[in-house]
Amino acid sequence: MDFRKEIERRRTFGIISHPDAGKTTLTEKLLLFGGAIQEAGAVKSNKIKKGATSDFMEIERQRGISVSTSVLAFHYKDKKINILDTPGHKDFAEDTFRTLTAVDSVIVVIDVAKGVEEQTEKLVSVCRMRHIPIIVFINKLDREGKDAFDLMDEVEKKLGLSVTPLSFPIGMGYDFQGIYNIWEKNINLFSGDSRKNIEETIAISDLNHPDLDQLIGAAPASRLREELDLIQEVYPPFDRDAYLEGRLQPVFFGSALNNFGVRELLDCFIDIAPPPRPKESDTRVVDPQEGKMTGFVFKIHANMDPKHRDRLAFVKIVSGTFERNRPYIHVRQQKALKFSSPNAFFAEKKEVVDVSYAGDIVGLHDTGNFKIGDTLTEGEQLNFRGIPSFSPEHFRYINNADPLKAKQLEKGIDQLMDEGVAQLFTLEMNGRKVIGTVGALQYEVIQYRLEHEYGAKCTYENFPAYKACWVKADDPKNEEFKEFSRIKHKFLATDKFGQLVFLADSAFSVQMTQDKYPSVKLRFTSEEI
Ligand code: G4P
């Protein structure tokens, strides 16, 4: 097949949700439909389970399985589907933000009873900023939950979306009878528990047919007709361009656990979701259909095997085809690299492949060349934008607890930061190192991994910062910037790319600084998003 057609049939997306809304269950059911797995329960949750073991040991367990769930690829009808895994735990939100730079669209899962939750709000706001096409899946319709119209209202208000339903539930919880598929214009009746198998459901195409009254009862049938009339009045008709531009979000209802409404979602998804999208770089917009390969690293997994310093760098191919043993240029290092065993991902297996296409993810074995955000090309000097670091929420000094292992500590910190586990800031004043994380859990993970993977020991000390603000001066030579640098000297640091960062101790201090030095711009992300 022509490489352009191969690219055109790829659908690379992420499923995001607040923990427990049903992301893992939905992923699994999608894989079942794709024939990629044979039974439910095959996809392991990447969730940090509370209770049995301490949290950070759970993270290790999760790290063990997350290589296999990083990319779940399968074929469905004539499409090649790549699902990129996003960690559910909020302490790993930054991992998810980075993964969102590699997806072409997302499905947001919402629990019908809980409605829009905190984590969903954060993740969707990142998708919105990037104009990523979003489909909403309202899950757990087999349980009592909020009214469908109220929920859609909540989605619009809390997530700032503009929705239109493409399916609609008939009843809910105990009275849940099925779903009217607005997209395909038919009805699927819920026929009880189908946890293990994918069940075929009955389809009816004419809403006004008396058969409908017979099937679901006269009262529910007339209610459904009324609701559908209301939908026509209140919500805009589906418009694919508006969806692709992030201006309109279709909504589906279902029950992932019962395999209900999932086929409808998938069938519509492959019809409307975008093929690989053009991506902005620092020099130009790169189109997936261009002949020359470009790609970027959005995730690194290190030291899965403690005996080897093995790292797997996940590269999203932005354009062209990625070929085994062909030299590519690592733009940051200006180095030509060849990969003899690039991995492609299928369901839960990875295999060495000769050719991958734009939209696909390849896993490259790495000996320490890559950092997150690095670009590979066939020689062109460009860097992909849109992999910013977000300001951490927690800050601590890291100290060496074993003077004989200073080198190991340094190497360990360096590599864990390349992997994106946390962010390192080096204070301008005295060169001391401050580690910033999204969640407090990461400190335990870092300590544990430094000891077990690098043989180094560390201790932490509180560093009283509220946010990291990346500094951009209108004119680094002007008096205002000089004064800012002098007065704030104690709070200035550099990140791992050498960018200047102001570690502010309060929201008030950020505001005051901004007011006092208007030509010095402060941002909570390392680049504009
Ligand atoms: P997550 O990845 O978003 O965190 O959620 P996950 O799929 O693990 O689902 C969280 C819980 O919700 C699971 O129950 C799962 O079985 C349940 N669930 C998912 N979809 C549905 C649905 O459509 N209806 C109902 N009633 N429940 C659903 P659990 O008890 O936490 O785990 P498990 O013991 O069942 O694995």
3-state helix, strand, coil in the chain (%, to 5): 30, 30, 40
User: What integer pLDDT is reported at residue 165 of this predicted model?
Assistant: 97
CA 191 from chain centre, in angstroms, equals 34
Is residue 78 classed exposed, middle or buried when 0-12, 13-18 and 19+ CB atoms within 10 A define those classes?
Answer: exposed
**What is the CB-side half-sphere exposure of residue 194 using CA atoms within 13 A?**
19
| Global pTM value | 0.84
User: What integer pLDDT is reported at residue 1 of this predicted model?
Assistant: 67
Query: Amino acid identity, residue 341?
Result: S
Nearest CA to ligand 1 atom 28: 257
Q: 337 vs 346, which has greater pLDDT?
A: 337
User: What integer pLDDT is reported at residue 242 of this predicted model?
Assistant: 97
Ligand 1 centroid distance, CA of 121 (Å): 20
Calculate mean pLDDT across residues 501-524.
Answer: 94
Question: Beta strands 105-111 and 10-17: pairing type?
Answer: parallel
Host H or E run for residue 417: helix 406-418
Q: Which residue of 90, 257, 262 sits with most ligand 1 atoms within 8 Å of its CB, as the best mutation to test the pocket?
A: 257
Nearest CA to ligand 1 atom 6: 22
Ligand 1 centroid distance, CA of 148 (Å): 20
Cα–Cα–Cα angle for 142, 148, 151, rounded to 5 degrees: 110
What does the mean pLDDT of the chain come to?
87
124-142 per-position pLDDT tens digit: 988 998 899 999 999 999 9
| Distances in whole angstroms, Cα of residue 184 to Cα of each of 29, 203, 206, 444 | 20, 10, 11, 50
User: What integer pLDDT is reported at residue 64 of this predicted model?
Assistant: 54
Strand segments, DSSP code E, in 288-410 are 294-302, 311-319, 321-323, 328-330, 335-337, 343-346, 349-352, 355-357, 361-366, 375-377, 394-400
The three-state secondary structure class of 217 is: coil
For residues 71 and 83, the answer to whether their CB atoms sit within 8 Å is: yes
User: What integer pLDDT is reported at residue 115 of this predicted model?
Assistant: 95
| Domains, the chain, with CATH or none | 3-177+236-272 (3.40.50.300), 279-377 (3.40.50.300), 394-523 (3.30.70.3280)
Size of the chain in residues: 529
Calculate mean pLDDT across residues 481-497.
Answer: 93
Report which ligand 1 atom has the smallest distance to the Cα of 19.
4
User: What integer pLDDT is reported at residue 51 of this predicted model?
Assistant: 43
Q: Residue 13 forms beta bridges with which residues?
A: 83, 105
290-330 per-position pLDDT tens digit: 999 999 999 888 766 656 667 889 999 999 999 999 999 99
Ligand 1 centroid distance, CA of 88 (Å): 13
pLDDT more than 70, % of the chain: 87
Q: How many CB atoms lie within 10 A of CB 2?
A: 7
Ligand 1 centroid distance, CA of 114 (Å): 13
Residue 359 has pLDDT above 60, yes or no: yes
For residues 376 and 329, the answer to whether their CB atoms sit within 8 Å is: yes
For residues 186 and 202, the answer to whether their CB atoms sit within 8 Å is: no
Tell me which of 56-60, 94-98, 366-370 is least confident. Answer: 56-60
**What would you measure as the largest C-alpha separation in the chain, in angstroms?**
83
Residue 31 has pLDDT above 80, yes or no: yes
Report which ligand 1 atom has the smallest distance to the Cα of 255.
23
Tell me which of 93-102, 113-122, 233-242, 476-485 is least confident. Answer: 93-102
Tell me which of 202-211, 246-255, 466-475, 509-518 is least confident. Answer: 202-211
Report which ligand 1 atom has the smallest distance to the Cα of 260.
23
| Distances in whole angstroms, Cα of residue 255 to Cα of each of 18, 29, 68, 236 | 16, 10, 25, 25
Q: What is the distance between the alpha carbons of residues 527 and 518, in angstroms, rounded to a whole number?
A: 18
| Confidence grade of residue 378 (pLDDT, cut at 50, 70, 90) | very high
Tell me the DSSP string of 55-115: HHHHHHHHHHHHHHHSEEEEEETTEEEEEEP---SGGGHHHHHHHTTS-SEEEEEEETTTB
- Phi (first) and psi of residue 499, to 5 degrees: -80, 145
For residues 308 and 354, the answer to whether their CB atoms sit within 8 Å is: no
Q: Which residue of 15, 17, 20 sits with most ligand 1 atoms within 8 Å of its CB, as the best mutation to test the pocket?
A: 20
User: What integer pLDDT is reported at residue 195 of this predicted model?
Assistant: 43
Calculate mean pLDDT across residues 40-58.
Answer: 51
434-456 per-position pLDDT tens digit: 999 988 888 988 998 899 889 99
Radius of gyration of the chain (CA): 25
Tell me which of 45-59, 219-233, 342-356, 474-488 is least confident. Answer: 45-59
Ligand 1 centroid distance, CA of 95 (Å): 22
For residues 136 and 238, the answer to whether their CB atoms sit within 8 Å is: no
Ligand 1 centroid distance, CA of 430 (Å): 50
| Pocket lined around ligand 1, Cβ cut-off 6 Å | 17, 19-25, 45, 47, 88, 139-140, 142-143, 255-258
User: What integer pLDDT is reported at residue 397 of this predicted model?
Assistant: 97
Ligand 1 centroid distance, CA of 333 (Å): 45
| Distances in whole angstroms, Cα of residue 451 to Cα of each of 304, 414, 506 | 15, 14, 33
Report which ligand 1 atom has the smallest distance to the Cα of 17.
3
Closest CA to 427 of 395, 404, 450: 395
Ligand 1 centroid distance, CA of 422 (Å): 29
Ligand 1 centroid distance, CA of 300 (Å): 28
Contacts of 347 (CB under 8 A, 6+ apart): 31, 34, 36, 37, 72, 73, 74
Q: How many CB atoms lie within 10 A of CB 449?
A: 22
User: What integer pLDDT is reported at residue 123 of this predicted model?
Assistant: 87
The three-state secondary structure class of 301 is: strand
The position carrying tokens 């300590």 is: 447
User: What integer pLDDT is reported at residue 39 of this predicted model?
Assistant: 60
Tell me which of 79-88, 217-226, 486-495 is least confident. Answer: 79-88
Burial 407-428 (b: 16+ CB within 10 A, else e): ebbebbbebbbbbbbbbbbbbb
User: What integer pLDDT is reported at residue 259 of this predicted model?
Assistant: 85
Residue 58 has pLDDT above 80, yes or no: no
- Phi (first) and psi of residue 389, to 5 degrees: -90, 140
The position carrying tokens 């309202």 is: 138
Q: What is the distance between the alpha carbons of residues 303 and 419, in angstroms, rounded to a whole number?
A: 10
Nearest CA to ligand 1 atom 21: 257
pLDDT more than 90, % of the chain: 56
Residue 82 has pLDDT above 80, yes or no: yes
Question: Beta strands 394-400 and 458-462: pairing type?
Answer: antiparallel
